[in-house]
């Protein structure tokens, strides 16, 4: 049964929170926490992080004049209480659903979201930009950036702190220290925060001089992030100072605070599915197949058991990439470098120079952050770094910020780079083995989020010939050339088309670079229409094929129809909804084939 929320019900406008008496604030925090638990039990979502900052969120909106005072949430996994208190309560149960609230902060969603976030470590840079703009305009509003102890280990945060400390603009940085990002925070700065958190408690002193003070910030804390009175008094004092320069407030919180659900395993309950709020049990979901991530992790561990040179690298995403499985088996050969994709790639390059076989497992959307390192430190030197690119293509409820839409394009343009995409679990195992055996330069394989296609078998895990695809089914007139995740959609489309009397050829490209030119030329010469189907943006696999056909003077031999992601960002929704929106599901492919077949038939007639 849902808790009564009399204080929350009184908030007609977000600004009403500033009129609340102090005695009402703790009640409001309890009501906000109960409302989030109730909503998350229905929708799932980023659960633990938001519960940990309820008191901080209430205090910030009580003390500061938002949205005139700018409040930026780094990553914004923790922004559910913020959304709830800024006019989005009624829509909270639509979060991460098609047409509903976005799972992160978004400028177009609310004036209270001055900067959209979802990737890590951006808030201080954005906040400093806003603070300097304010100073140039002669305004007096405050700028507050809230960043976690995991996100602050990202290199971009260091760069921003370095600049802000020298710039001296009035900027408040709140470090939300809960000892976690998605997994446990790692690195020397995390250790330093632990020392700052613990030393005053041990000795009663002000603690050691902090890293932040060395950079020119005033350092306040640690402050108990669940003590509303202390938070309000600390923030009010800063608000009322006439000229305070840059300040860091070290706030200690507990991820998942106030609910026993998240305490036993904070990483597991970082993001959850629907659950029973009374029993804390997850609602039953149909049994699923293993995920591509799980198959990759098992395949890499199998290879590593045979080859001691194999090492694995993750950038603070051990569970997300499956490398926690590898790390349990080979702890000395698994490295979590923190939120540091640039460092991860060049670290891998260094390992490769000494004869190791590094597998750098990074989400497609996060590998974008290390593009210069991929080019300059890996490809230019032709170093055999292996890139395991998870979450390639559309990613469902996490939306456009996390979609792996661009890797086929940004890797396909890089000399020396090999790019593969598995169509099913067995193909993924073969690509892991192929990458392990390939020592002639960098090689990447990209695979989607979610359950595998096809049966996962460990039999006949043979190394692939570089740049060679395969024919799955021979047909007539129309050929569907799928890459990676879209091969299964092509197979589904072919099944639908048989009901219309059409028997199409199905090919699995396997390689986005180098493309199988022999296969492509044969299909173009023997079919009236060749459709190229990929879950990637303009400039990817299809562009490679079209370039080759133009250079080979074969563009007029058949109608070439690229089916790619549309040139826009795809809104969040279920994976099926996103693929339908993009026109890349089996039904859309079949409809396009029928249209093409009719057009081709009219031309012949």
Residues 210 and 308 in one domain: no
Distance CA 176, CA 267 (A): 16
Residues 190 and 101 in one domain: yes
Instruction: Let me know: does 171 contact 127? Beta carbons within 8 Å.
Output: yes
Residues 238 and 301 in one domain: no
What's the confidence (pLDDT) of residue 42?
A: 76
Instruction: Let me know: does 316 contact 296? Beta carbons within 8 Å.
Output: no
Distance CA 41, CA 200 (A): 38
What is the side-by-side order of every strand in the sheet holding 386-390? 334-336, 310-314, 357-363, 386-390, 443-446, 418-420, 511-513
Mean pLDDT of the chain: 90
Q: How confident is the model at residue 597 (pLDDT cuts 50, 70, 90)?
A: confident
Q: Does residue 269 belong to any structural domain of this protein?
A: no
**Looking at the predicted structure, is the pLDDT value of residue 192 above 90?**
no
For residue 358, list its beta bridge partners: 311
Of the residues 243, 259, 275, which one is the last residue of a structural domain? 259
Of the listed 33, 83, 266, 369, which one is catalytic?
Answer: 369
Tell the burial category of 23 from Cβ atoms under 10 Å away from its Cβ (0-12, 13-18, 19+).
exposed
Of the listed 255, 386, 513, 592, which one is catalytic?
Answer: 255
Distance CA 57, CA 574 (A): 29
Which among 472, 466, 464 is positioned nearest to 488, based on CA atoms? 472
Q: Does residue 422 belong to any structural domain of this protein?
A: yes
Q: How confident is the model at residue 274 (pLDDT cuts 50, 70, 90)?
A: low
Distance CA 401, CA 117 (A): 8
Which among 452, 409, 356, 363 is positioned nearest to 542, based on CA atoms? 409
**Looking at the predicted structure, is the pLDDT value of residue 589 above 50?**
yes
Q: What is the pLDDT of residues 520-548, one digit of tens each?
A: 999 999 999 999 999 999 999 999 999 99
For residue 471, list its beta bridge partners: 507
Residues 423 and 562 in one domain: no
Q: What is the DSSP letter of 376?
A: I
What's the confidence (pLDDT) of residue 454?
A: 79
Determine the average pLDDT of the residues in 452-476: 92
Of the residues 209, 240, 259, which one is the last residue of a structural domain? 259
**Looking at the predicted structure, is the pLDDT value of residue 224 above 70?**
yes
Instruction: Let me know: does 45 contact 249? Beta carbons within 8 Å.
Output: no
CA angle at residue 473 from 469 to 477, to 5 degrees?
100
How many domains, the chain?
Answer: 3
Q: Tell me which range, 34-43, 176-185, 202-211, 255-264, is most confidently predicted by mean pLDDT.
A: 34-43
Higher pLDDT, 91 or 536: 536
What's the confidence (pLDDT) of residue 392?
A: 97
Q: How confident is the model at residue 201 (pLDDT cuts 50, 70, 90)?
A: very low
Q: Does residue 507 belong to any structural domain of this protein?
A: yes
Of the residues 414, 446, 478, which one is the last residue of a structural domain? 446
Which element (helix H / strand E) includes 157?
Answer: helix 155-167
Cβ atoms within 10 A of the Cβ of 413, count?
A: 14
Higher pLDDT, 216 or 181: 216
**What is the span of the domain harbouring residue 74?**
6-259
Alpha helices by DSSP H, 4-47: 6-9, 22-43
Of the listed 35, 298, 341, 534, which one is catalytic?
Answer: 341
Q: Does residue 395 belong to any structural domain of this protein?
A: yes
For 252, the 3-state DSSP assignment is strand
Residues 127 and 223 in one domain: yes
Q: Which two tokens stand for residue 464?
A: 């692939």
Residues 319 and 358 in one domain: yes
Distance CA 110, CA 87 (A): 9
**Looking at the predicted structure, is the pLDDT value of residue 204 above 50?**
no
Residues 125 and 23 in one domain: yes
Q: How confident is the model at residue 178 (pLDDT cuts 50, 70, 90)?
A: confident
| Burial state string for 515-531 with b = 16 or more CB within 10 A and e = fewer than 16 | bbbebbeebbeebbbbb
Instruction: Let me know: does 150 contact 316? Beta carbons within 8 Å.
Output: yes
What's the confidence (pLDDT) of residue 372?
A: 98
Residues 201 and 164 in one domain: yes
Residues 159 and 301 in one domain: no
Q: Does residue 53 belong to any structural domain of this protein?
A: yes
**Looking at the predicted structure, is the pLDDT value of residue 261 above 60?**
no
492 Cβ contact list (under 8 Å, min separation 6): 585, 586, 589, 590
User: How do 505-508 and 470-473 pair as beta strands?
Assistant: antiparallel
Hey, which bits of 125-244 come out as E strands? 143-148, 171-177, 218-224
Which element (helix H / strand E) includes 549?
Answer: helix 541-551
**Looking at the predicted structure, is the pLDDT value of residue 270 above 70?**
no
Q: How confident is the model at residue 342 (pLDDT cuts 50, 70, 90)?
A: very high
- DSSP code string of 223-247: EETT-HHHHHHHHHHHHH-S---EE
Q: Does residue 279 belong to any structural domain of this protein?
A: no
Determine the average pLDDT of the residues in 296-304: 97
**Looking at the predicted structure, is the pLDDT value of residue 222 above 80?**
yes
83 has catalytic annotation: no
Which among 162, 149, 75, 129 is positioned nearest to 401, based on CA atoms? 75
Residues 477 and 401 in one domain: no
Lowest pLDDT segment from 35-49, 160-174, 541-555:
35-49
Q: Does residue 362 belong to any structural domain of this protein?
A: yes
Q: How confident is the model at residue 189 (pLDDT cuts 50, 70, 90)?
A: low
Q: What is the pLDDT of residues 120-165, one digit of tens each?
A: 999 999 999 999 999 999 999 999 999 999 899 899 999 999 999 9
**Looking at the predicted structure, is the pLDDT value of residue 203 above 60?**
no
Residues 323 and 191 in one domain: no
Cα–Cα distance list, 190 to 175, 179, 181, 338, 347 (Å): 11, 8, 11, 10, 20
What's the confidence (pLDDT) of residue 1?
A: 44
Q: What is the DSSP letter of 570?
A: P
- CATH code of the domain in which 207 resides: 3.40.50.970
Residues 379 and 480 in one domain: no
Q: Does residue 434 belong to any structural domain of this protein?
A: yes
């Amino acid at each position: 049964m849902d808790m009564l929320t009399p204080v929350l019900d009184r908030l007609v406008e977000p600004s009403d929170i500033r009129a609340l008496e102090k005695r009402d604030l703790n009640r409001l925090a309890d009501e906000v926490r109960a409302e989030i638990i109730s909503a998350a039990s229905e929708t799932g979502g980023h659960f633990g992080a938001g519960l940990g900052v309820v008191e901080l969120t209430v205090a910030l909106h009580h003390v500061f004049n938002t949205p005139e005072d700018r409040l930026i949430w780094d990553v914004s996994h923790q922004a559910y209480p913020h959304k709830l208190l800024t006019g989005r309560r009624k829509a909270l149960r639509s979060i991460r659903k098609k047409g509903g609230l976005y799972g992160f902060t978004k400028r177009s969603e609310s004036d209270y979201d001055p900067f959209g976030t979802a990737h890590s470590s951006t808030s201080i840079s954005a906040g400093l930009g806003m603070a300097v703009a304010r100073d140039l305009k002669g305004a007096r509003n405050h700028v507050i950036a809230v960043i976690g102890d995991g996100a602050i280990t990202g290199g971009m945060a260091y760069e921003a702190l370095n600049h802000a400390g020298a710039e001296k603009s009035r900027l408040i940085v709140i470090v939300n220290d809960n000892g976690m990002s998605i997994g446990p925070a790692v690195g020397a700065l995390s250790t330093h925060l632990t020392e700052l958190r613990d030393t005053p408690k041990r000795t009663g002193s002000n603690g050691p001089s902090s890293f932040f003070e060395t950079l020119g910030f005033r350092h306040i804390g640690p402050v108990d992030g669940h003590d509303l009175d202390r938070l309000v008094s600390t923030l009010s004092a800063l608000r009322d100072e006439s000229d305070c320069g840059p300040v860091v407030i070290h706030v200690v919180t507990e991820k998942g605070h106030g609910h026993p659900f998240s305490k036993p395993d904070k990483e597991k309950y970082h993001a959850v599915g629907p659950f029973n709020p009374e029993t804390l049990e997850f609602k039953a979901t149909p049994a699923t197949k293993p995920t591509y991530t799980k198959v990759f992790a098992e395949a890499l561990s199998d290879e590593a058991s045979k080859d001691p040179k194999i090492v694995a690298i993750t950038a603070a995403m051990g569970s997300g990439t499956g490398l926690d499985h590898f790390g349990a088996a080979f702890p000395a050969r698994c490295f979590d470098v923190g939120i540091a994709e640039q460092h991860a790639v060049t670290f891998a390059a260094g390992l490769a120079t000494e004869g190791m076989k590094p597998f750098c497992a990074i989400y497609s959307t996060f590998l974008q952050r290390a593009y210069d390192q991929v080019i300059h430190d890996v490809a230019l030197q032709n170093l055999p770094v292996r890139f395991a690119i998870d979450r390639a293509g559309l990613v469902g409820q996490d939306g456009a910020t996390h979609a792996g839409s661009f890797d086929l394009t940004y890797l396909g343009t890089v000399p020396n780079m090999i790019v593969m995409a598995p169509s099913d679990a067995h193909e993924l195992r073969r690509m892991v083995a192929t990458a392990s055996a390939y020592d002639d330069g960098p090689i990447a394989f990209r695979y989607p989020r979610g359950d595998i296609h096809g049966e996962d078998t460990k039999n006949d895990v043979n190394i692939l010939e570089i740049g060679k695809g395969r024919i799955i089914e021979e047909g007539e007139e129309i050929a569907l050339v799928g890459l990676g995740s879209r091969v299964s959609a092509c197979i589904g489309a072919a099944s639908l088309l048989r009901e219309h009397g059409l028997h199409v050829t199905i090919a699995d490209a396997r390689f986005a670079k180098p493309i199988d030119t022999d296969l492509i030329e044969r299909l173009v010469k023997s079919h009236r229409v060749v459709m190229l189907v990929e879950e990637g943006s303009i400039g990817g696999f299809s562009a490679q094929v079209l370039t080759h056909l133009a250079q080979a003077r074969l563009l007029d031999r058949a109608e070439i129809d690229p089916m790619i992601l549309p040139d826009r960002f795809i809104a969040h929704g279920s994976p099926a909804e996103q693929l339908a929106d993009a026109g890349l599901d089996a039904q859309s492919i079949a409809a396009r084939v029928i249209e093409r077949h009719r057009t081709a038939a009219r031309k012949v007639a």
